[in-house]
Structure 1
Amino acid sequence: MSLLFNILPDSLDERLETNQLILRPYQEGDENDFIRVLQENSSSLYPAYSGRLARVKALEDARIQMQQLRTDWDNRKTFDFGVWTKADNRYLGDIALKNVDHKIPKAEIGLYFTGWPETKSLVEEALKSILQFAFDLLHLNKVYIRCTASNKFYGELALENGFVEEGTLRSDFRGFDSDELHDLTYFGMTRTDFEKLRQQQGSENSTALV
């Protein structure tokens, strides 16, 4: 049994809410939203999500993919959230904790959103919610984001929200069914970083109230 099974509470709240968003695991009926955002943003999702793009070509593919994500969630392998707006129930995209290393423990944050950069403030809101989930509920000690040159804007987002750039690994990633190699830049946040960021934000809020 994995370490995460040992440290998680018996009942894990799967639905996260922010001021403007609802984050939850995918369920039956989400397949139209799921495939639409993939198809509408296919160019920006390559190469990071080229495997998902290749697997999901039709509605039935989307249903199968969501069922697999549910299984991975139940097995504490991947915690994948769809993101919807509260105001109009608009599906924005996907944010997940994946590649969980149970020994540290740590996990990678993977994300994609439609409407960038207009949706940037909502993406930040979703990211902050996932950080709280990762450190407060899963008790992770570190999370990280990996970016290729084509999605470096997520690296910039990470830096703006308390992550530290840790370096670039050259020719370290190959997309699905491709011979092209891509450099990967890593952005990390430790538990110490997260606590310092939370204290800083708390102090700023207190000052604003005064």
Structure 2
Amino acid sequence: MSSLYSILPDSLAERLETNKLILRPYQEGDEGDFMRVLQENSDALNPAFSGRLARIKALEDVRLQMQQLRTDWDNRKTFDFGVWTKADNSYVGDIALQNLDHKIPKAEIGLYFSGWPKTRALVQEALHCILEFAFDTLQLNKVYIRCTARNKFYGELAEENGFKEEGTLRSDFRGTDSNELHDLTYFGMTRPDYEEQRRQHESENPVTLA
């Protein structure tokens, strides 16, 4: 058992809520939504999620993928949340904490959403929620986002919300079934960054007691 597992809480809330969103692990019945968003956004998901796209060809593939995500969750390896809107229960995307490193501890945020840029505000809301889960619940010390040129808009959104651009690794990523090499730009948030963001938010939105 990894030492990361030993420092995490024995039980974790699996359903997270924001003003407009519900974030939760995938379950039976989500297969159609999961596959639809992948298929409708396949161009935007390449090359970052080319591996997931390659694995999903039929509903049975989705079921196997969800079983693996459940196993990874139970083993504290990956925390993958599907994202639904509260207003009409529409599935809009996926956000996950993955590649957990127990030594720091830190994790990578992976995400994709349909309808960008119209869903920008929802993506930001989901990002804030996953940051609270990472720093307050899991007690991580750092999270980061890696972006290729095609999805750097997520990194730019992260910068607007307290992440710092940490540099670009040239020719550092290759998608599934592709010989093309891509540069990866890193955007990171440390615990001090997160706490400074919280202090700033609290100062701009003071609580008034009756």
Tell me which interval the TM-score lies in, with the shorter structure as reference length: over 0.9
Is the contact between residue 4 and residue 101 of structure 2 (CA under 8 Å) also seen in structure 1? no
Is the contact between residue 4 and residue 138 of structure 1 (CA under 8 Å) also seen in structure 2? no
State the alpha-carbon separation in 2 of the partners of residues 208 and 111 from structure 1.
35
The alignment-based identity, stated in percent, is 79
State the alpha-carbon separation in 2 of the partners of residues 3 and 162 from structure 1.
29
* Aligned positions of 1:53-92 closer than 5 A: 53-92=53-92
The TM-score normalised by the length of structure 1 is 0.97
* Aligned positions of 1:34-183 closer than 5 A: 34-183=34-183
The number of residues matched between the two structures is: 209
Secondary structure of the corresponding residue to residue 184 of structure 2 = strand
Is the contact between residue 105 and residue 140 of structure 2 (CA under 8 Å) also seen in structure 1? yes
State the alpha-carbon separation in 1 of the partners of residues 147 and 79 from structure 2.
19
Is the contact between residue 109 and residue 144 of structure 2 (CA under 8 Å) also seen in structure 1? yes
Q: Which segments of structure 1 move beyond 2 Å, counting only runs of 4 or more? A: none
State the alpha-carbon separation in 2 of the partners of residues 176 and 153 from structure 1.
22
State the alpha-carbon separation in 2 of the partners of residues 207 and 138 from structure 1.
26
- Structure 1 unaligned residues grouped into runs of 5+: none
CA deviation after TM superposition for structure 1 residue 207, in Å: 8.7
Aligned partner of 2:24 in structure 1 is 24
Secondary structure of the corresponding residue to residue 71 of structure 2 = helix
Aligned partner of 1:191 in structure 2 is 191
The TM-score normalised by the length of structure 2 is 0.97
Deviations 1:13-42 (A, max 9, x none): 011000000000000100000000000000
State the alpha-carbon separation in 1 of the partners of residues 207 and 84 from structure 2.
32
CA deviation after TM superposition for structure 1 residue 3, in Å: 2.3
Deviations 1:78-131 (A, max 9, x none): 000000001100000100000111111000000000010000000000000000
State the alpha-carbon separation in 1 of the partners of residues 45 and 188 from structure 2.
21
State the alpha-carbon separation in 2 of the partners of residues 171 and 208 from structure 1.
51
**55-64 vs 6-15, greater mean Cα deviation:** 6-15
CA deviation after TM superposition for structure 1 residue 70, in Å: 0.5
CA deviation after TM superposition for structure 1 residue 198, in Å: 0.3
